[in-house]
Structure 1
Amino acid sequence: MSRFSAGNQTFFYLFATATAVIFLIKFIFGGYDFLYPDFAEGYFSAAWSKLEILKKISTEALKWRELANENEELRKQNKELTQKTTLAGALEEENKFLRRTVGITAKIPGRFVLGGIYNLNLTPSGYNVLLNRGSKNGVSEGDIVITAEGILVGQVKQVFGAFSKLLFITDPAFKISGKISRSTNSRQAGSTNSRQAGSETKGLVKGRLNEELYFDLITRKDTVKEGDLVVSSGDDTFPPALIIGTVSFVAANETGVFQTVKIRPAVNGESLAKILIMMR
């Protein structure tokens, strides 16, 4: 029988000792609680609870970040959609305006430029009206500004590179030759035909600061009444048949030669965001 070496003997003694210690802990001390006391259990339980809270906070923070990114993306998409909708609306309005201009551009020969008025305010010296077209668009002094329906707005008086100043129709410095234009209606076979009748009642239309016009040089013999339509006569630099307004007041002067006639401008109440500039 061979004998254990010194190293084997040492290992055997250590193994036996460890076995004895485990036996004593189990059966003499009643378990392993003395190696893991209550205060340690509470500490590790609290630590684990805090770790769970941190885990939840981290998870919620990640969710909030994802929601923030999603919200930012939705805002971006909404902005793009709003821009597209706005552009589509602007194009639709421009198309409607162009369709309305077909009639007037067919009646009045010449070249037209689309534009708009972006400022209109009254000053002590008259109206300050700015047009969003200038020399770079081909606009020049004396160009006539009308609406798509042929309503007279005014005349360009000063031109800059990107914009122009407009002499508004109700400005005291504005003048144009005008005449009364009356329509007669006749019915034939269930349809209605309208034609304009000529009128010899002519005068000089002048602007006022109270949003009305004077119709000067109307004699007592001239036929004019409230509600009559006044258009340009074509006897000056303005083309004929531009709509000026309707007669709003007539008073005969018993001792004088001329009547007192006032005109309500047709441009009142009209949208001037889009207008036509008649190039001269």
Structure 2
Amino acid sequence: MKSLKLWSLFFIFLIVALLVFFIFLGSFRLGDYSASIKNIRVSFFSKINVFSSFLSKIERISKLTKENMFLKNENTKLLSLLASQDELQDQINFLRESLDLDIFSGHKFIDARIFNFQFTPEGHHFLINKGGESGIKIGDIIVVSTGILLGVVDNVDEGFSRASLITNSGSKITVKVLGKNTTGIARGFLNEGLRLDFISQNDQIVEGDTIITNGNDMFPPGLLIGKVSNIIFADDGDLFKKVILEPEFKKINLDRVLILTQ
């Protein structure tokens, strides 16, 4: 009986010892697991923070890109507005110059722009951006706002027209020397400019004289043609001098023009 009790006590002690051992062992491993979990958690949240920072950078770049596009669009609008205002002011100045000239009084005119020149051995022509739909007709006279004669419309389409320059062969204009009684006919001579015909040996004319229309033909009086650039005196027996003119339009930037309608 006493031996049975001893074995029972030994068995209980063994069980308690085993329980304490396993509890201690479990407590040690649980600490390892906690440390591992803690490390995993730290690593995970660290990666989350990096990814979040990356997303924030992407968002900032996207925002800056949108702001940059907005500023570019606003800058384009501003440039367009400035260009429009500059174009409007240019047109106002152009029309003001035109209205200041007495030679245009009594004439109806249409403003246009030159967009192409054609200088070929066959002729000197230019194109303007107004045509039949704007009231342009063949034979209309083309000048600039400062009173310089350019040419005559010789072909009309719906939205544009072609004009012949005064330097074109076949062009003839009755003219006079400004401030003198000398008159003649200016003929187009292509690349040489113009020649002044019917200037007699006794007519008063020198290099540098200004030549203008005299109004004895289709052209209004007082339009600038050019200046005398060279005079070749005739041989004995010849009645007329050979006078070369430099066209006035060669000295200016040709852009806007006026079409004097018939």
TMscore range, shorter length = 0.7 to 0.9
> Structure 1: which amino acid aligns with 2:248?
A
3-state SS in 2 of match to 1:177: strand
- Counterpart for residue 200 of structure 1: 181
Q: Judge conservation of contact 1:25–1:32 (CA < 8 Å) in 2.
A: no
Which AA in structure 2 matches 1:33? G
2:102 and 2:109 mapped to 1: Cα distance?
Answer: 8
1:51-90 matched pairs, under 5 angstroms: 51-90=48-87
Name whichever of 93-102 and 121-130 sits farther off: 121-130
Provide the rounded CA distance (Å) in 1 between the counterparts of 2:103 and 2:244. 31
| 1:92 correspondence with 2:89 | yes
| Distance change >3 Å, CA 105–CA 224, structure 1 → 2 | closer
Return the alpha-carbon distance in structure 1 between the equivalents of residues 31 and 117 of structure 2: 93
Q: Distance in 2 between matches of 1:211 and 1:96?
A: 33
Residue 254 of structure 1: how far off its partner (Å) = 2.3
Cα deviation digits, residues 169-210 of structure 1 (max 9, x gap): 11112211111112xxxxxxxxxxxxxxxx331111011221
Q: CA deviation at 1:233?
A: 1.4
CA distance in 1, matches of 2:214, 2:103: 18
Which residue of structure 1 lines up, in the alignment, with residue 165 of structure 2? 168
Equivalence map 1:261-276=2 (5 Å): 261-276=243-258
TM-score (norm 1): 0.80
The alpha-carbon deviation at position 48 of structure 1 amounts to 2.2
Are positions 1:139 and 2:136 aligned together? yes
Q: Deviations over 1:95-151 (max 9, x none)?
A: 111111112256542101111111113123112310111111111011111111111
- In 2 relative to 1, CA 270–107 (structure 1 residues): closer, same or farther, beyond 3 Å? same
**Aligned position for 1:126:** 123
| 1:34 paired residue number | 32
- Work out whether 1:216 is the aligned partner of 2:197: yes
Distance 2:102 2:127 in 1: 23
Of Structure 1 and Structure 2, which has the larger fraction of its residues in helix?
2
Distance, in Å, in 2 between the alignment partners of 1:120 and 1:200 is 35
Retained in 2: the 8 A contact 1:133–1:162? yes
- 2:174–2:184: 8 Å Cα contact kept in structure 1? yes
**Which amino acid in structure 1 is aligned with residue 185 of structure 2?**
L
Percent pairwise identity: 29
The one-letter amino acid paired with 1:261 is: V
Of 244, 264, 279, the residue aligned with 2:225 is 244
Query: 1:49 Cα deviation (Å)?
Result: 2.0
Output the aligned Cα RMSD. Answer: 2.2
Gaps of 5+ in 2: 1-18
Q: Helix, strand or coil: the match of 1:96? A: helix
Q: CA deviation at 1:41?
A: 4.2
Question: Residues 211 and 265 of structure 1 are in contact (CA less than 8 Å); yes or no, is this contact kept in structure 2?
Answer: no
Aligned pairs for 1:18-29 (under 5 A) are 24=23, 29=27
Corresponding residue for residue 240 of structure 2: 258
**Cα pair distance change 1:230/1:31, threshold 3 Å:** same
Structure 2 residue identity aligned to 1:248: S
Alignment counterpart, residue 151 of structure 2, candidates 129, 147, 154 = 154
* TM-score, reference length from structure 2: 0.85
